[in-house]
Chains A and B, each alone.
Chain A
């Protein structure tokens, strides 16, 4: 008999009270047939995110949802490291709490991994059946420009570098995350570029991305500067 894999879903949160409840509801709705746990890394949200997690643990079971809070905002990269320490699955999924990543795609990540034996399955918005909702022309232009630049200079081997909806073999995530230094959303780009350089088998699945339903997403001049700095850093170090 085949051993059933366990999946640990790590979700960093900061003031995502309503969103995280809906995300957890949707995970349980779409992953019924799989063995999984959800690890919430909350950075001391003042909006009661942790209270609602405790209520959700009563509904869905305390061993299915783990709350591993940190006292204050400490950044995305370290949030994954923190969550990873408590993960008991063979595979780790990382996703955002803001509903831009829909849990209904999780089964296709898992199936793709099983079919191909890949070390990493990454969601891509820029292929058939993928897509983005809620971006204006300027946002699309920056995104395409950034992507063409990165594809030309970095040869990353994946079509969506800054997407952060991914499934990793646990040992692979542990290996890569230790060598990643970037913060913010350059972090996601560095993760996948380093994985490519290390020769890990990476597969892609289409996902759709609905930009923040509650609250607004931010992309300003400083993000573009950060992105370019990240690009140069990766050119020199990978």
Chain B
């Protein structure tokens, strides 16, 4: 099944539950009418939260850059000694 159909399926299921709640009127109607607004808001919050968390704990590796610099020198030295032209480009 195409991904878009899966997502539409999820939305449809949520819509059906919502209509069910509206019809059954177990909870106050005014609450039920606002549920889609809450859904959109919470989805937005989820997105912002995930980006925020991702940014806060963004894994960085400055030590890797230093190690790489060392290995670049090592490679240049070795390859130059083997007669490979390692002049700067």
Q: A and B from one assembly?
A: yes
B79–A59 CB distance below 8 A: yes
Within 8 A of A (CB), among B54-89: 54-55, 58-62, 64-65, 68-69, 71-72, 74-76, 78-79, 82-86, 88-89
Check: B50 CB closer than 8 A to any chain A CB. Answer: yes
Question: Interface on chain A toward B: helix, strand, loop, or mixed SS?
Answer: helix
Interface-lining segment among B1-9, B16-24, B31-39: B1-9
Tell me the chain A residues, 129-152 only, with Cβ under 8 Å from chain B: 130-134, 137, 140-141, 144-145, 147-149, 151-152
Interface size on A, residues (CB 8 A): 49
Task: Please name the residue on chain A nearest to B60 by beta carbon.
Answer: A131
Among A17, A18, A51, A55, chain B packs the most CB atoms within 10 A around the CB of: A18
Indicate if the CB atoms of B60 and A59 lie closer than 8 Å: no
Contact A148 B68 (CB under 8 A): no
Q: Determine the chain B residues whose CB is within 8 A of the CB of A22 once the complex forms.
A: 71-72, 75-76
Interface residues of A in 86-100 (CB under 8 A from B): 99
Assess whether A234 is interfacial by the CB under 8 Å rule.
yes
Contact of A55 with B84 in the complex, beta carbons under 8 Å: yes
Q: Report how far A58 CA is from B83 CA in the complex, Å.
A: 10
Q: Specify the main secondary structure of chain B where it touches its partner.
A: helix
What band does the interface of chain B fall in when counting residues whose beta carbon is under 8 Å from A?
Answer: 20 to 34
Q: Is the CB of B76 within 8 A of A59?
A: no
Q: Say if the beta carbon of A67 comes within 8 Å of chain B.
A: no
A18 and B64 within 8 A (CB):
no
Judge if A118 is at the interface, Cβ distance under 8 Å. Answer: no
Known: A140-B58, A144-B50, A144-B58. 20 other contacts (CB 8 A): A21-B86, A22-B75, A26-B71, A56-B79, A99-B68, A99-B72, A125-B59, A127-B59, A131-B59, A131-B64, A144-B54, A147-B54, A153-B7, A154-B3, A208-B61, A208-B64, A210-B64, A235-B2, A235-B3, A238-B2
**What residues of chain A have their CB less than 8 Å away from a CB belonging to chain B?**
15, 17-18, 21-22, 25-26, 47-48, 51-52, 55-56, 58-59, 99, 102, 125-128, 130-134, 137, 140-141, 144-145, 147-149, 151-155, 208-210, 213-214, 234-238
5 CB contacts below 8 A, A to B, read A51-B85, A58-B83, A131-B61, A140-B55, A153-B7
**B residues at A contact (CB < 8 Å):** 2-4, 6-7, 47, 50-51, 54-55, 58-62, 64-65, 68-69, 71-72, 74-76, 78-79, 82-86, 88-89
